Each structure stands twice: as C-alpha cells, then as structure tokens.
Structure 1
Amino acid sequence: MSSVQISRRRILVDGEPSLVMAGEVHYFRLPRQEWAARLDLLVEVGCTCVASYIPWLWHELPDGTLDVTGRTRPERDVGAFIDLAAERGLTFLARPGPFVMAELKNEGLPYRLYREHPEIVPVGWDGQPAPTATVDYLAPAFLREVERWYDAILPVLAARSATRGGPVLGVQLDNEVGMLAWVSNSPDLTDHLVDDLRRWLRERPAGSTHERGAQEALVGVLDGDPQRWRDTVRTPPEELAADLRVDLGLFMRDRFARYLDTLALQVRASGLDGLPLFVNIHGTEGGNGVPFAIGVSQLYRSYAGMPGLVAGSDHYLGEMGRDATTDIHFVNAVMEAVNGADQPLTSLEFEAGTGDYDAGLERLYDGSTVDLKVRLHLAQGNRLINYYLLAGGLNPRLDEPVGDGNDRISFTGRRHGTAAPIGPEGQRGVTFSATREVTRAARLHARWLADHDEERDDVAVAFWPDAFLTEYTHPGSAAVREIVRDLEVHRGPGPRKALWRSWLFDGWRFGAVDVSDPTSEAPRVLGLACGEVLDGDVQTRLVEHVHGGGSLLLLGPVPTRDTRGRSCTVLGDALGVRGGRREVADPRRHHPSVRGTGPLADWTEMRVGWWQELTGPEGAVPLVESLDGTVCGLGVRHGAGRTVVLAAEVPGSPQLFTPVTEWLGAQRGTALSTDVPGVVATTSATPDGQRMLHLLNPTAYPATVRLTPGDPTGLLDAPLDMPARTGVILALGLDLPCGLRLESANAELTDLTEDALEVGAGLGATTELWLSGEAGTVRCADDAVQVSRDDGRWHVVAPDRRPVRLTAGPVT
C-alpha cells in the first residue's frame, strides 16, 4: 500500500518527494496484443508513469450498456491495460472524463446523450445553436448519465488505487472544462443555466465594488418574466451588455467549481479518496501562450487551495524559440500565482513530438524543442510532466455507424498521433531519442528536482485573473468589444510580451502574484502590464503596496475605468499621474519614437506603437520622452515606495526594463550577461540548501554567458560557452550517493551510482568540477584528466571539454 499526497508544492509518495515523468498511451487506439510493446517503449523512453484517457464513447455500446472489462472487445478491458503497466513498474494516471477531447467525436461523449437529452445541448448568443459538442455541465440529465458512467469505470480504478497497493496514482476530473465555449465564443445558455444565473445574481452577496453590477443594473429584468430574462441574457441590450459580460464570467467560475466538486465527490466516494485529483487547464491558441490564462481565470476558483486538487497545464506552443520560452515561463508562473501553498505545478498535456499532427509534412520541430521545454518546466518546479501524445495509434470504427465519412471514433481518420515520438504503428519517431535523453536527465536529477524551489529575485509580475475574463463577448455590443480589446492588447506579458521577455532574458528570476487576492504576498517590485481598464479593487491594492514601501512598474496607459466600463481612477489619483493625448503609429504615415531621459539617458531611441503624454506630481522623475520632449515615462515616489509608469508600446528591451527595475529597488541575483539575447538562467534550491543552476539557450546561436550564481568555488563565475539550442543543469552544491558533495561543475551530471559519477562535456575551455567529502580516493581512468586535492576539496580538470567519469572509494 502506498500513499500519494500533495504538500508544500510537492508530490509525496510514501512521504518522499517524487518527480513523475509520464507518457500518454491510448489503449483504445491499439490492438490489445500491442499494448505490452507500447508500454515497453514507454519504459525505454524513461517514463515512470503511463497516462490515458478513458473514453465513455468507446466503452458505451449501441444498446446503452457499458463494457469496461473487455466482454465485447479485448481493447475495452481497462483493468488489463493498467495491470500490464504495473507489471513494468509503472504507475497510472487515469483520465476518465466524462469529456476527454483527444480528437474524439463528441469530445468522447456517446451520441446517445444528445439524442435522448436535447435539453442538455446549449444555445449561444442570440439563441444560435452551439457550434461545438458541448453540453450544460450541471444539467440534471447530464449529471445522472455521468454518475452512471462513473459507477462503471471508477470501481476498476479504485481496485487498483495506490492506496490499495496498485499503480493508480491520481484521477483527472473531466478535461479542459469551459474550453469549448471559450474557443467558439458561444456560452452554454440552456434554459437551465440561464435560470441558474438569475438565481445566483439574486442570492449573491453584494461583495466588492467590482462584483456588484447586474444586481443593480438588471433589477427590473431579474424580477420580471422568466422568458424576458432568458432573451436578455442571450441578446443583451447595449446598456446591460458590459455588466452581463462580467457577471456571466464570474457566475461560470462558480458553476465550474460546483461541477468539478460534484465529480470529485463521486470519485472520492468510489474508493479513490486517498489520491490527488487533477484539473486540466486549457489552453494555448495558435501557438500563443497568453490565452492560457483564460483557462486559469475560468477554473482557478475550482481548484486553488482546495485540498487534494492539482492543476495541470495543457499547452501547444510549437518549436522552442523566444516566443515559446516566454510563454512557457508565463504559463507556469500564472498557475503558481493562484495555486495554494500545497499545490504543485504539473503539466497534464506536455506537447511532444514533431508537431505534424495531420501527417501532412507541415511541421518538423527540432529535437531540442522537447529537451528545452522539459528543462524550463523542471527549473520552474513542475513535479509531473505527461508527454502528450507519447505513442500514436489507430482509431477503431464505431460500433454503430453514423455516416460521417469514416465512422471512426476520431475525426483524425484511421491513423492518430502521427507527430508522436512513437508512431501509430509502434515505430520510433525522429523525436524518440531526444525525448528519451531529456527524460533520462530529469530522472538522474529527480532526487533534487522533486524537492527544489526556484530562487527568486525581489520582483514578480502582477497577475490579474479578470484581465482574462474575456471568454464571452457578445458580438453585437460595441462597448463590450472595446473593453475586451483593451484587455487583450495589454494584459499578461504586455504588448509584444515586452515586460515578461525583458525580465526573463536579462536574468531576472521571477514568478507571478495574484493581485486580486488580498491575502497574497508581494515582493518589493511588482510589474503590471495593463490598459485603460483596471478594476478599482486591484488599483487600491496596488496603491497600498506602494504606500507600504513596495514598488510598482506599470506598463501601459494610466487606468481610467473598470471592466464594466465605469470611471475608475484610483491609482492615477493616488500617484498624482494623469494621462493625456496619445500618439499612435500608422504604418504608412506616422512612426513615433521615444528615448530615455534623466536616469535613462543612455537608453537609445526606439520606435513604438504608441505613446501617451504623462503629467505627474512635483518631484516626479522623467524617464522616457518622445522626440519632441513630451514625457511618456515617469518615476514617482509615493509614501515609502516608488512607481514607474511607462505609457508607451515599447519593444522588449532589457536596456530599458533592467535600469527601471533597479531604480525601483531590486537587484538581479544572477546578474546575467550574454552576447546572444534569449538565454535563460535561474537557480533553485532544496530545503537543505542543495542548489542547481539551470541554463537554457533556445536560440540558434552559440552564446557566451557570464553570471554570478553564488558558486562557492567561483568556477561558474567564469564565462560559459552555451551551444545553440541546448540546456543544462549545473551543480552548485549537490550531495551525491557516493558520499561526495559536488560543489560545482561546468558540465551536467550524466550518470550517478553508489561509487561513481559522470559528467558530460564542459562549457568552458576544459571540463572542470570541484568535490568535497570524506571519500578516501577519487580516481579517473582517463590519464589525461587531472585529479588533485586542493584546500580540502577534490579538483578535477579534463582537457578539450571531454566527459569525465570518476570513481570514489572509502577511506582505507
């Protein structure tokens, strides 16, 4: 019997921190006789866990009965697949839906549900049919059907729970809840849901100024005819549209929480009560990671701080370059910002493979992509990574033909997972070896990666979830479109991702803070990218942060209204800063530029998309101005703190953002400098002080990197040569199983045993490492490698950057 718990942002297996490297293998897309071979390949990759969706659509038969034991087809025997995994020492992450997506028809729901229960099928804006296969999650008929499905599948999982000595370490609740309505901008406006919204608005406490809205604006409609209320929600008049947009989004957060709570209660009652329950967060869009925070905004009230619940990312960001690097860092940071103190970062759908999902030779991601993505996730503290999809397969035909062109379970045709490291027929794909190598590196460092935390500088990005409350926008409302556009342009990393990218690629170690949470603790410097729209509650908290001695970097125009379109100037009033006229670029006729002034006089002139004239209080420090001398960047002292307002659409520029951040009172702990912009450097430490340096070069150019990571030997203060598109984990004091402590090394560990260690090629002119400990001997079989004792430490130097293998012997 094992225990699987979450505590201190770690996954604890029998009380010990654990790093879970999983791969998604869909048993239902494989002939049963091939299950073992696919699992053997998963073991070869180095995974410790196998994950799989369990599609309701696959297990329900045309007569409505359910087969989860293989009585009708051997490929329906879920328990047998899990048992095969256990025989190989693998754990199992179960994903039983009810929605599973996975390119399945109806997103994995049986066709019967839509025929027998038309009331669960939503309409959207203006009463138009929903363009996706979504349903009303809390419709009574749907919940009854889900209960029936869970009653069939959950006992199979419970019998194999880790708490009973089995391999099942966790269960995912549904999948990508709320995603279908967001991507289609078509909320699930069934009569049942709209009537529930009416009740919710009537019963809801007044709450904050931000949360009040429809109770006041809609009082006549709320108390009137029920059909008039439904029509108003589906086709809101212009004077009510802005309030309804906000209140519908806030209501859906609450409704998603009730839905997932309903599923969690049933899962726990089935005998799976001792396991973590996972919530999969969508969703990147078109290779852009910023919209991922829409999923966080929709669902964080469902899981944040909830005992036993764990959120996981779901991202598809393409080849690893500077955009993808910025976006991955953003995804992990905003998830961490809303997580509770015990909830770890995980990735439930970690994009793996070539990216050629349609088998059309459109994409071929570089093999370094998976390596770099894994390393960045691990550096930021992810405890579980699930390669999706690790192994492809073949889509079986539906038992009951539906006449849709192929009658298969999936809309991808016969072959599925053509981009995966393991192809549909079981062949090793071109990314197989790269996936295997980075998984091996992760497992080699797992004893530290399972129990480390990123070390942070005194800075963080302010994450405002309601900036992403934009999933429902009535197309007929000009006011709503204008508010949403302001939010979309400025939120998160900022226009051109300038705030996030500038800090990340200049060596700042930072996360994010949820500024909508009054209990959240902020570091000295908060950076916030926003537009004219910023709610009063958040503005007030920012004022309190600065007045209490903190600092604020505001990238964007001075806020003037809230998300409901009402006037709101709390922040500007407190700082004494006013925004004036704007100069906006026109690609054909107008090309505004700005330059640094005063403390930023060395910052060179740069063209911008727009700038806004700023006026400030007496003593304000001009920092940025247009070429005619109009101030558009100001430094302001307020109370015990400082604020910088940069009211211009500037490009990513460490030469701007780092001096500004330092003026606000923060210093970089790693002081990164490099001849190739785009290198990422951060450090992490375990509770007992063992430390690692994480370096990534996602560019196509070799880089020379200088930094000060706090190396006790000074070795890593020397320039390091980072090859193009590579990442490394370097020791800054790691206790090894052979009894030695690796004080520092300019090469990554590649092997560890009870009496030996091995490192790869060094990043300097030589491969070099320092060891300490009581071992009697440290030897290398390579005569060219110098091993010497210096000041109580072992110093090892190998010429030509060659790999080194050392053996350590006891005192004799």
Structure 2
Amino acid sequence: MIEIRNKQIIIDGKPEIIMCGEIHYFRLDRSDWQDRITKLKEAGCNAVASYIPWICHEAVEGEVDLTGRKRPELDIGGFIDLCNENGLYFFARPGPFIMAEMKNEGIPFWVYEKHPEIIPVTWDGGAIPTRTIDYLAPSFLKETRKWFKNIMGVIEPRLHQHGGNVIAVQLDNEIGMLSWVNNSPDLTDQLLDDFFNWLQQNYEKQQLKLRYPFALMEISARNEQIRSPKEEYAAELIGDLGRYMRHRFSRYVNELRAYSEEFGVKDIPFVINIHGTSGGRALTYPIGISQLYESYTQNPGYLSGSDIYFGDLNMTTFQDLYLINGFMDAVHQEDQPLTSVEFNCGDGNFGTTYSDRYDPSAVDFKIRMCIAQGNRLINFYLFTGGRNYRMDQELNDGNDRIAFTGERHGFAAPVSPEGELNYTYPRMARVTKTMMAVSDKLAVMKEEHDPVAFGFIPDYYMTESHYSESCKMREIIQNLEKNRASGGWEIMARAMLLAGYRFGSTDIQNKPLNPKITPVLALPSARYMNPGIQQKLSDYVREGGGLLLYGEVPVYDMEGKPCTLLADSLGVSPRGTRKDSDHYFLSVTAAGWASPRPEVRSHTAHTYEISEAEPILTVYGTDEVCGFEAMYGQGKAIMIGAAYSCDLPLFTEALERLGAKAGLKHDFKDHGIFLTSTANEDGGRFYHLLNLDGFDKELHLYLEGIPLFGEKKLLLQSKDGLMLPVNMKLNNGVKIVYSTSEITEVTLNKMTFRLTQKEDIIVLEGTPNVVPSSDIHIEERNGQTIVTSRKHAKVDDHLVIHIQESIGGLTKETETAAKSH
C-alpha cells in the first residue's frame, strides 16, 4: 500500500525516501541491463525510473511490441522484473509524450499522419514549430487510450500492491512546455470552441460582450479575432487564455488518469512533472508551476515533480533551487510532498564541446538542499547513457534513428553509454548513500522556518503566451518579468538566505494570508497586481502583518486598469521612475533608520509621494523617495523600490523591524554559506550546511544565540556540504547528542561516519559500549560517551565505531568468554 500523507511517501506503513536513477532500457542492449542496475545500486539508489516510448513499442500502428519480440531491449516487463529481482522500486513514465530527445517527443509518426487535425495552429493561424498536439483532440485521446490499454496491461500486474515493484506512474511529460518555449499556444478550432464555452461559464453575457467587443457567436470571425487579437481586448485575452489553459491541462491529466485506472493501474501516486528552467537558471521555472498546479491539486493521489536543469549550485544559482522548492510547496495540498523527477546530474557536457564542466559538488549540493526542504523522491536524469537505434522504417530525416541527438545518448550522464563511470559518479554515490543511511529519519523530517515566508503569485508567471503584435500585452509581461524574479530573487532572496533566514513560501493568490501564521511576508511586487491580492495584502498589514516589498507598489490590476488598493492603504502614490543613462549615473542614498550607508549606484528607482511613511531610500540630487517604511493598522510595510545592492545588514534590519529574526547563525566573517535545519517530532535535528565557495571556512554555529556542537569551531571544507546530527535517536538504541561528522551507515553493532574536521567529536548517549580502537579516543563524562577521532578528515575521512551489545550487564563478547569456561 502506498500513501501520500503529511508530506510523506508511505510504503506499507513506512515513510520512505526514494532515490531513483533513470535507465532507458530501450537505449541499452538487454545484456547491459544488469550492469547498469548494479552501478545504480552501488550508487545507493533504491529505485529505477524510465520513460516508456510509444514510438518504439508501436512504431507501426497495431504492431505493438512490449515483450521484445523484434528487439530484445523492448521487453519492458522483463526490465521491470529485473529491477524487482534486484530489490529496486520502479517508477514508470509511459507518456504519451516523453520528450527525452525522441523524434515527435515520443509519439509514433503514424499518429500524426493518420490524424492531421490534431496538429495545432497558433497566433495568426500559423503552424506551431514543435511537434506538439491538441491534447484534448478526440482522435488523439482515442489513440492514447489504446496505448494506455497496452502499456497498463504490463504495469498493472507489477504494481507494488500486487506484489510487484511499480510505486508510481507519470502522466504525460512537461505538459504545456512545447507551446511555452515557442510562445505558440494551441488555437485549433476545437480548442477555441471549448475556450468560448469556458468563457460563457466564467462571465455573464453582458460582461463577456464588454471584454470581447466582437461577434462571439460567429465562429469563423471569433476564431480570427482570438488568433489575431486587437489591443482593446489583448490584456483580457492573455489572462483568460492562461486560466483556461490551466483548466484544460487539468482535464487532460484527469483523462489520462481515468484511462490508467480503467485498465487497473490505481491506488499509487500519479506524477505530473513541471518544466521551466532555462539558460541554466530557474527564473522562469514558476511558469511551469503556474501552468500545471491545477492539474496536480485537483484531486488526492497526485505528486508534482520538479525538472531541475541548472548546473553548479553556487553563489549565482543557490537561491533558485531554494525558491522553486518553496513555490512548489506553496501551491500543494496539505499532504503533498516535494519530489524531483528530472534531477539533472552528470558533467554538463551535453554538446560534446566540454564547454560546460560541472563541479562534482553540483549534484551533491542540489540533493542536500532538496532533501533538507522535504523532497521525498529524487530521480537522477539521466543516470546512464545509451544509444539511439535506427528505426526499421526509413524516415529520410538525416539519421533514421529514434532520437535526434545522434547514435550516442546521455554521454554527460554519470555512467556513459558504454557503461564507464565519469568523475561525477563518486560524489553522487557518496551523498546518496549518506541520505539513505538515515533515510528513515529524513523521510519524516520537516525544514524549520523562521517567522517569514516568500510570497508567490502564480498569475505573475502566466506569461507563456502573448501576441507579438500587441504592445499592451508586451508592456504588462515585460513589467512582470522584470519584477517577479530579477531583484526579488537576485537581491532580496539571496540576502535573506545569506543572512541565515530559513523560510518557506506561501501562495498569496489562492490561499489565506494570516499574520498569526505568516508574521512576515517578503514579496517581489510588480506594477500590476490583482485587486483581490492587493486587498488581501492590505488586510494582512492592517491585522498586524509585516510586509517587505521589493520592486514596485502596484497601481494597476492585471489587465492594466488603475487599481491602487495597496498603495492607498500604505498612504503612498507613485510619482515616476528614474533610470540611468549614458550620462546620468543614477544613485540612491539611505535615509531614516537605513542610514548611514554608502551611496549606491542603481539603474532604476521608482519614486513615491508619501504622507505618514518614513523614507529609507532617496534619489541623489532630487531627494525623491524610492524606499519607505509605512505603518497601517497594527502592521508595517517596508518598500524597496530601487535596484539596490545585496546589502545583508539592510535586509536583516528590515526583516527584524517587521518581526522576523533569523534563528540559525554562523560567525564566519564572509558570506557564501547556506544553512538550514530539519527536525522530527522526537526533537532530533540535522543541521545542513553548504560551502558555496572554493576555499575552506571555519565557523561557530548558533541557534537563537546559543552555540551548538559544544562550542566547537567547525571546518566547512571547500565546496563541501555537511548534514550534522543533533539529539538523533538511531535504530540501534544509541542517541547521538551531536556529531561533527556525517552518518554514513548504522547497524546494530556498528556506526560508520564521514569525518569532516581536523579532529571530529561524536557525543553518544544510551549506554553504548564503544569498542576501543587506535582510531579513536573514548571518554565517559556525565552519562555521555565522547568519542574523539584521531584521524584528520583530509587524510582519511572514514571512521567505523563498533558497539558491543549488552546482555544482562555483560557484553556479548564477555558472555561468550564466560560460556567457554
């Protein structure tokens, strides 16, 4: 039995962490399957994932090969069974879309040829440049149902609850992504008929006429007006089309789930993966959340999974991962945990140019951060490379192969197409084994948060489709894009994390905002904001909330109509925007409690007329206010309206003035350290630290001002991460009071650690009989056993502590000796 409860994945009553690796069985010789599975197990994984490509299994209509009749490597049931024989769970990803660099994104050619009506048209009636499909086209759904009948016939008897190993099924892949990346929404006749019905259900007849001043009942004219929108209704259309597409995607997902359950695949999690990373960053990732959150929150039984495609986790990108995990959690139902179903690993050499070489710390750091934030399933994509075989039918497309990447595929993976391990494999294996050694603890832990959350507005990312000829659409979208991330991520979020704040996110669009639950809210804010959200923020401050805004105070609704609800509550009104130019070096000075501070160069400053508010930032030379603190009701708001520097003391003071103080701190004199903590109900904790820089750092760690780890100074090595236990009860009856080394294995009579210091200390309780050895010094003090390592971590970081089990006051060793006499 598999349950999704309390943000946990529970299998047969036991909360579990699933560490998965993607192995494309169809890209490997069958004789290589066991070798790749062995390497996956040696890396510490407990599950295998794979796409199941329709284009391979039914290349010719009606000729379905799921048993390897023509190609041995297509025996999908045999592959799943082999994983089961190796004690591994299986995560099935049957499409119908799979992407994975496959031709047609994994859809058979004959589907397009037989049903040309499923191929979408887009703006101005033009062709969509990608091989996407009208998801709800009846003929496509009919063919998809047949595919699901075939493949679910293989999966159903292998479900975990039937004695097999299949624990989850993904429905489709990256839904809506192909249209987003090309700004080409699906606007077929069938879709526009459905869109019109949706409009009628959501607006009164007269209201609809005002929104769309053209003949809506004349189908041909209506379709032309939507595909080539006029300025007078362009802003309305972008919002309505985005909300409709969310609704449409959720219906598509529901249809696929119905097919799965019709053919017996039920009572397991159905997974929807979220696309959106671009250019090595996650600034656009919430577009995928915005498109799909209604799909995976519509009913119980769904999991959302991130697609994490950025390389090194460093000072540029570390806040990206932290924020998108928070945003995913913000829109989740109460029981839904975080997962990552495409967790990019390997060396980054995707173009065989060696221009992108990821540091070995890349996958290590991302795993650590994701696990700390509550990810319960991580799927390494790709774990191993393979080959793209030639199809039997000639395609005359340059290579006739199943994919467009050439013969070798996944050559950047930790395991090469030929089965060789690359330099990223050892570090990936090390961190995976570390997580799995204490997976029973991590599976139930939650990240601890300070009294501040980062605000998320899904509609700020509903920008995946806009008509290029519309100036109004372009103006709104450009302003949203500038403010929703940019300084809000690069300055405010980064400053919060470097200052030690541990925070989640809250969906202020769809969920209540209560200052008793969220005392302080940090929010990137644009010129445009829904009136309901403006009112919610106003009420939040009035009722005692602390609001930190970065960007602009909104003065329009999302359709460009004047709306100043929030500005009016704060007693401010926008005055204008100052920008630097070739011969104007815009500079901002601090005022009020923010002074004295050095003057800061800025490229943009939004200025405000204020009444009762206190200025904290002003434009040099004009004294125009571009940052202020305003009281309203029982609460307070602080606005930073200039492109300011990542001034950690400034953001710390602002958050503390609003009521949020960071509880976890270090005393290293410089930045470049990420830290957070996770806890269970027994009071056990892990402290998670990442050194984002390439040099060692020494520090003390404090919780609420109290030094941790016996006041010992910790060494945080170059590009290394730590997960240090405190008050952790282990399954062998031993309690670790604290340890400066990481747990890597626990058995009844043995504990293994990865040393991290010049001289590691492990403090134990629970009357453990530690076996003396030349590697350790043992001291008993105040009911505790203090074990000090005699090894230097940089010379030898492996330490084994053996424990003798007591029986009636005697150790097993002593009892055996007594019996022999």
Task: Please give the TM-score of this superposition, normalised by the length of structure 2.
Answer: 0.95
- 2:138 maps to 1:146: no
Q: CA deviation at 1:423?
A: 0.4
Three-state SS of the structure 2 residue aligned to 1:272 is coil
2:259 to 255, 263, 266: 266
1:689-731: CA deviations, max 9, x gaps?
2111000112223223333136998426443221111101001
Report the Cα distance in structure 2 between the residues aligned to 1:169 and 1:690, rounded to whole angstroms: 29
**Structure 1 residues 63 and 274 mapped into 2: Cα distance closer, same or farther (>3 Å)?**
closer
1:127 partner letter: G
1:765-799: CA deviations, max 9, x gaps?
52112211233x2334126x332122222222335
1:162 to 151, 160, 163: 160
Report the Cα distance in structure 2 between the residues aligned to 1:434 and 1:576, rounded to whole angstroms: 54
1:288 to 271, 274, 281: 281
1:587-620: CA deviations, max 9, x gaps?
x3222222322222144332222112223232x2
Tell me which moved more, 675-684 or 8-17: 675-684
1:34 to 29, 32, 35: 32
Report the Cα distance in structure 1 between the residues aligned to 2:449 and 2:764, rounded to whole angstroms: 26
2:592 to 598, 609, 633: 598
Report the Cα distance in structure 2 between the residues aligned to 1:632 and 1:450, rounded to whole angstroms: 45
1:386-465 alignment runs, 5 A limit: 386-465=379-458
Three-state SS of the structure 1 residue aligned to 2:248 is helix
Q: CA deviation at 1:806?
A: 2.4
1:23-422 alignment runs, 5 A limit: 23-204=21-202, 216-218=210-212, 220-222=214-216, 224-304=217-297, 306-422=299-415
Q: Is the 8 A contact 2:84 2:164 kept in 1?
A: yes
Report the Cα distance in structure 2 between the residues aligned to 1:758 and 1:21, rounded to whole angstroms: 20
- 2:671 maps to 1:677: yes
- 2:526 maps to 1:531: yes
Q: CA deviation at 1:741?
A: 0.7
Three-state SS of the structure 2 residue aligned to 1:563 is coil
Q: Which residue of 1 aligns with 2:773?
A: 781
Three-state SS of the structure 1 residue aligned to 2:382 is strand
Q: CA deviation at 1:196?
A: 0.7
Q: Is the 8 A contact 1:709 1:716 kept in 2?
A: no
1:480-508: CA deviations, max 9, x gaps?
00100000011046356211111111110
Q: Which residue of 1 aligns with 2:691?
A: 697
Q: Is the 8 A contact 1:213 1:247 kept in 2?
A: no
Q: CA deviation at 1:79?
A: 0.2
Q: Which residue of 1 aligns with 2:558?
A: 563
Tell me which moved more, 175-184 or 442-451: 442-451
1:252-297: CA deviations, max 9, x gaps?
0000000000001111222221100000100201111011100000
1:500 partner letter: A
Tell me which moved more, 496-505 or 800-809: 800-809
1:606 partner letter: V
Q: Is the 8 A contact 1:762 1:768 kept in 2?
A: no
Which sections of structure 1, spanning at least 5 residues, go unmatched? none
1:661 partner letter: L
Report the Cα distance in structure 1 between the residues aligned to 2:151 and 2:96, rounded to whole angstroms: 11
Q: Is the 8 A contact 1:506 1:673 kept in 2?
A: no
Q: Which residue of 1 aligns with 2:818?
A: none
Report the Cα distance in structure 2 between the residues aligned to 1:710 and 1:25, rounded to whole angstroms: 45
**Structure 1 residues 717 and 263 mapped into 2: Cα distance closer, same or farther (>3 Å)?**
farther
Report the Cα distance in structure 1 between the residues aligned to 2:788 and 2:583, rounded to whole angstroms: 61
Question: Alpha carbon RMSD of aligned pairs, Å?
Answer: 1.8
2:547 partner letter: L
Three-state SS of the structure 1 residue aligned to 2:26 is helix
Q: CA deviation at 1:738?
A: 2.7
- 2:730 maps to 1:744: no
Q: CA deviation at 1:129?
A: 0.4
**Structure 1 residues 10 and 493 mapped into 2: Cα distance closer, same or farther (>3 Å)?**
farther
Q: Which residue of 2 aligns with 1:645?
A: 639
**Structure 1 residues 683 and 520 mapped into 2: Cα distance closer, same or farther (>3 Å)?**
same
2:606 to 603, 608, 612: 612
Report the Cα distance in structure 2 between the residues aligned to 1:405 and 1:273, rounded to whole angstroms: 41
Identity over aligned pairs, percent: 39
Three-state SS of the structure 1 residue aligned to 2:654 is helix
Q: Is the 8 A contact 1:29 1:393 kept in 2?
A: yes
1:753-792 alignment runs, 5 A limit: 753-763=747-757, 766-775=759-768, 777-782=769-774, 785-792=776-783
Q: CA deviation at 1:61?
A: 3.1
Report the Cα distance in structure 2 between the residues aligned to 1:518 and 1:420, rounded to whole angstroms: 40
Report the Cα distance in structure 1 between the residues aligned to 2:376 and 2:711, rounded to whole angstroms: 29
1:544 to 539, 548, 556: 539
Report the Cα distance in structure 2 between the residues aligned to 1:602 and 1:721, rounded to whole angstroms: 35
**Structure 1 residues 659 and 190 mapped into 2: Cα distance closer, same or farther (>3 Å)?**
same
Q: Which residue of 1 aligns with 2:819?
A: none
Task: Please give the TM-score of this superposition, normalised by the length of structure 1.
Answer: 0.96
Report the Cα distance in structure 2 between the residues aligned to 1:796 and 1:493, rounded to whole angstroms: 48
- 2:657 maps to 1:663: yes
Q: Which residue of 1 aligns with 2:815?
A: none
1:238 partner letter: E
Q: Is the 8 A contact 2:700 2:707 kept in 1?
A: no
Tell me which moved more, 36-45 or 86-95: 36-45
2:591 partner letter: T
Q: CA deviation at 1:748?
A: 1.4
1:335 partner letter: M
1:429-459: CA deviations, max 9, x gaps?
2211111111111111211111100000000
2:219 partner letter: P
Report the Cα distance in structure 1 between the residues aligned to 2:208 and 2:644, rounded to whole angstroms: 37
Three-state SS of the structure 2 residue aligned to 1:684 is strand
Report the Cα distance in structure 1 between the residues aligned to 2:201 and 2:213, rounded to whole angstroms: 12
Report the Cα distance in structure 2 between the residues aligned to 1:434 and 1:774, rounded to whole angstroms: 34
